[in-house]
Amino acid sequence: MEQFVSSSTRKIGIIGVGFGAQVHVPGFRSEGWEVAAICSRNREKAQKAGAEAGIDRIYTDPMEIIRRDDLAAVSIITPPGAHHALAIAALKAGKHVLCEKPFALDAGQAKEMLDVAEKSRRTAMVAHEFRHTPQRAYIKQLLDDGYIGKFQLCTIELFLDHYVTDQPRPLTWMAHKSDGGGLLGALGSHYIDGLRFWFGEVASVSGWLATLRPDLVDTATGKKVDAETDDSFLLTLTFKNGGMATMIASFATTPTRGAKIVVMGDDGTLIRSTRRSPTHATTA
């Protein structure tokens, strides 16, 4: 359920810094919203983000933002493990909600969030902004125009070397299942949304997860630990409207090769390729 927000009440609070400060703050401001508050569990990070963005009201407790009566909406950019509780609290407090992806840890959480959103009569959205990039929007336009005829197959490859390091990389929330880490959720969710945007609802899905480079170091203790989450995945989708898609992705391959999307119809093929220069040499 969506509810119109008048220009006079467009005040929003940002829960989460990093991507929240870099992307969400300027994004909301460009659309005429006043970013009235920002929150991080780490006070120093919150103060730094607030100072750089010119936001005076700084919080370390997200519930303090949610309880503010003068805010029409909140944007949630925390690790995914916190999305469920924060989104439901915000909706019950009468706030509109934009929540980063993946917006829940499992289908049960997702269903509960949907139910609360529908009862609240507030706008609840997932931040799948990639579907609006010029390249993906153009693919959608060409498909809608019948440029390649009837859709049949799509393949996506994404190979980056982000996790290829000489030493174990630092432990972050991305390595924890309880926080919703992993490549499938971080980037795979954007591509799955893109596939649904192009081809319609999914009829069936199968997939495979792998952790090819699990070695991490806990910088607080200096101890080596293993990642709990995936750095590589493979998935196959079929669609109710017909056709199928496959995707294979990894942060653990070298050299980096970027992304390649191929969309095949019965009258032609679309190819979108983003190649990146290798940062590591190949070995025999």
Give the rounded distance of the alpha carbon of 185 from its chain centre.
7
Question: Does the residue 178 lie in any domain?
Answer: yes
User: Residue 269 is part of a domain; what is its CATH number?
Assistant: 3.30.360.10
Q: Kindly report the average pLDDT of the chain as a whole number.
A: 92
Tell me which of 42-46, 130-134, 141-145, 277-281 is least confident: 277-281
Whether 236 and 207 have beta carbons less than 8 Å apart is answered as yes
pLDDT band at 278 (very low <50, low <70, confident <90, very high): very low
Whether 124 and 102 have beta carbons less than 8 Å apart is answered as no
Same domain membership, residue 83 and residue 167: no
User: Residue 59 is part of a domain; what is its CATH number?
Assistant: 3.40.50.720
Each residue's pLDDT tens digit, 225-267: 999 999 999 999 999 999 999 999 999 999 999 999 999 999 9
Question: Does the residue 153 lie in any domain?
Answer: yes
Each residue's pLDDT tens digit, 179-230: 999 999 999 999 999 999 999 999 999 999 999 999 999 999 999 999 999 9
Same domain membership, residue 256 and residue 161: yes
pLDDT of residue 21: 87
Same domain membership, residue 147 and residue 42: no
Domain termination residue (choose one: 103, 127, 151): 127
The dihedral of CA 50, 53, 57, 60: what is its sign?
negative
Domain termination residue (choose one: 71, 104, 127): 127
pLDDT of residue 94: 96
Give the rounded distance of the alpha carbon of 78 from its chain centre.
11
Each residue's pLDDT tens digit, 155-184: 999 999 999 999 999 999 999 999 999 999
Helix axes 134-144, 189-199, angle to 10 degrees: 30
Helix axes 107-120, 83-92, angle to 10 degrees: 10
Domain termination residue (choose one: 99, 127, 155): 127
Same domain membership, residue 77 and residue 188: no
Same domain membership, residue 79 and residue 43: yes
Whether 92 and 117 have beta carbons less than 8 Å apart is answered as no
Specify the number of domains making up the chain. Answer: 2
Same domain membership, residue 135 and residue 100: no
pLDDT band at 284 (very low <50, low <70, confident <90, very high): very low
Question: Does the residue 279 lie in any domain?
Answer: no
Distance CA 263, CA 260 (A): 10
Question: Does the residue 284 lie in any domain?
Answer: no
For residues 278 and 261, the model is more confident at: 261
* Residue 248 burial class via C-beta count within 10 angstroms: exposed 0-12, middle 13-18, buried 19 and up: middle
51 Cβ neighbours under 8 A, 6+ residues apart: none
Same domain membership, residue 224 and residue 102: no
Q: Which domain holds residue 170?
A: 131-274
pLDDT of residue 281: 33
Same domain membership, residue 121 and residue 156: no
Question: Does the residue 249 lie in any domain?
Answer: yes
Same domain membership, residue 109 and residue 47: yes
pLDDT of residue 274: 83
Same domain membership, residue 270 and residue 135: yes
Same domain membership, residue 111 and residue 50: yes
CB atoms within 10 A of CB 40: 25
Question: Does the residue 1 lie in any domain?
Answer: no
Type of residue numbered 87: A
Same domain membership, residue 155 and residue 112: no
Q: Which two tokens stand for residue 80?
A: 């995914």
